[in-house]
Amino acid sequence: KQKPQKQHGNKMPEGSDPLHRVMKQNIMFNKSKGQHILKNPAVVKAMVDKAGIKSTDTVLEIGPGTGNLTVQLLAKAKKVVAFEIDPRLVAELQKRVMATPLQPKLEILLGDVLKNELPYFDLCVSNLPYQISSPFIFKLIQHGRFRATLVMVQKEFADRLTARPGDKLYSRLSANVQLHCRVSHVMKVSKSNFRPPPKVESAVVRLEPRVPKPPVQAAEFDGLLRVCFARKNKTLLGEFKQKSVLQLLEKNHRAYLTARGLPAPPADGGASFAELVRRVLTESGFAASRARSMDEDDLLRLLLAFNRANIRFA
């Protein structure tokens, strides 16, 4: 007689492990879609505990995969709305909750979250597919209507989110996110906690929208940052002398004046407009500044100076 196999810790029997079932069915994980399944239950539990989920919360999850995190979220929340791009994993997740008390609490949206409107949610808790980290965070910022977000991302991306002015990794992403949210590092996660393991280490970060909201349109602020951080080590006066930058801003300037019934300046090859930009930078005191060392207050004051001159970035 064969002795029954012992179960160690939180490890499930092979037949009940959804990850094992997926692999047994020869469903290959697609790395190009960021399908690195978080397999360590201790990490999953830590994420759920640190998310601060209330029994009345609707939780948004991106890329639920086989549902290791999803079922823990369902146990805590009123509802989980999960975006999944892979129909094979949608079917597996549906099987996992079928005929259980968790089934009516789960809504699965098949599709690309970047191409769809975000539904209502209180919290976002996700092991985020790494290749969509940046565009998804920007989408979250523009959405803005949530209490907090707790996401697993690539460690370097997490370091960029939390970088401060003067840091090597301080970037357009850092300035943008920190204007709209309080960002904190929660924990590091080794690549050995995933199957298949990614090539990089991971980290969990928490974002909480600032209240009240910053007095600026997200698209307008981001437009300024695109110019300033195109070459963050260059002086702003040098950066704003670029022909492509001047052409874009002059086009926005004329459109803004025309839309409000104000007289647009005559087209003179850009000489007058270039002088206007130089005067804004000089009088605001930022002509010799470099984006790498400017904090959110500096950038907001610069944007206000340009807007007062009817120069817009979006």
Where b means 16+ CB within 10 Å and e means fewer, 229-255 reads beebebbbeebbeeeebbeebbebbbe
What average pLDDT does range 158-186 have in this prediction?
Answer: 96
Assess whether pLDDT exceeds 80 at residue 122.
yes
% of the chain surpassing 90 pLDDT: 77
Confidence of residue 269 (pLDDT cuts 50, 70, 90): low
Q: Return the HEC string of 126-174.
A: EECCHHHHHHHHHHHHHHCCCCEEEEEEEHHHHHHHHCCCCCCCCCHHH
Judged by average pLDDT, the poorest of 23-32, 90-99, 125-134, 254-263 is 23-32
The per-residue pLDDT for 12 is: 41
Q: At what angle do helices 296-308 and 271-284 cross, to 10 degrees?
A: 140
Coil, helix or strand for 78? coil
φ/ψ of residue 79, rounded to 5: -155, 150
The per-residue pLDDT for 215 is: 86
Q: What is the mean pLDDT of the chain?
A: 89
First vs last C-alpha separation in the chain: 74
The per-residue pLDDT for 144 is: 86
Assess whether pLDDT exceeds 80 at residue 25.
no
| Domain residue extents for the chain | 18-209, 218-309
Binding residue ranges for S-adenosyl-L-methionine: 36, 38, 63, 84, 112, 127
pTM value?
Answer: 0.83
Binding residue ranges: 36, 38, 63, 84, 112, 127
The per-residue pLDDT for 27 is: 52
Assess whether pLDDT exceeds 70 at residue 1.
no
Confidence of residue 6 (pLDDT cuts 50, 70, 90): very low
Reply yes or no: is the peptide bond before residue 265 cis, omega within 30 of 0: no
The per-residue pLDDT for 8 is: 44
Answer for the pair 151, 128: CB distance below 8 angstroms, yes or no.
Answer: yes
Confidence of residue 9 (pLDDT cuts 50, 70, 90): very low
Confidence of residue 197 (pLDDT cuts 50, 70, 90): confident
- Is the domain spanning 218-309 CATH 1.10.8.480? The answer is yes
Q: Quote the tokens at residue 313.
A: 């970035």
Alpha-carbon distance 244 to 227, whole Å?
Answer: 10
Judged by average pLDDT, the poorest of 109-113, 207-211, 216-220, 306-310 is 216-220
| Residue given tokens 């002086």 in the structure block | 235
Assess whether pLDDT exceeds 50 at residue 238.
yes
Non-local CB neighbours of 213 within 8 Å, separated by 6+ positions: 144, 180
Domain 18-209 homologous superfamily, CATH: Vaccinia Virus protein VP39 (3.40.50.150)
List pLDDT tens digits, range 100-115. Answer: 999 999 999 999 999 9
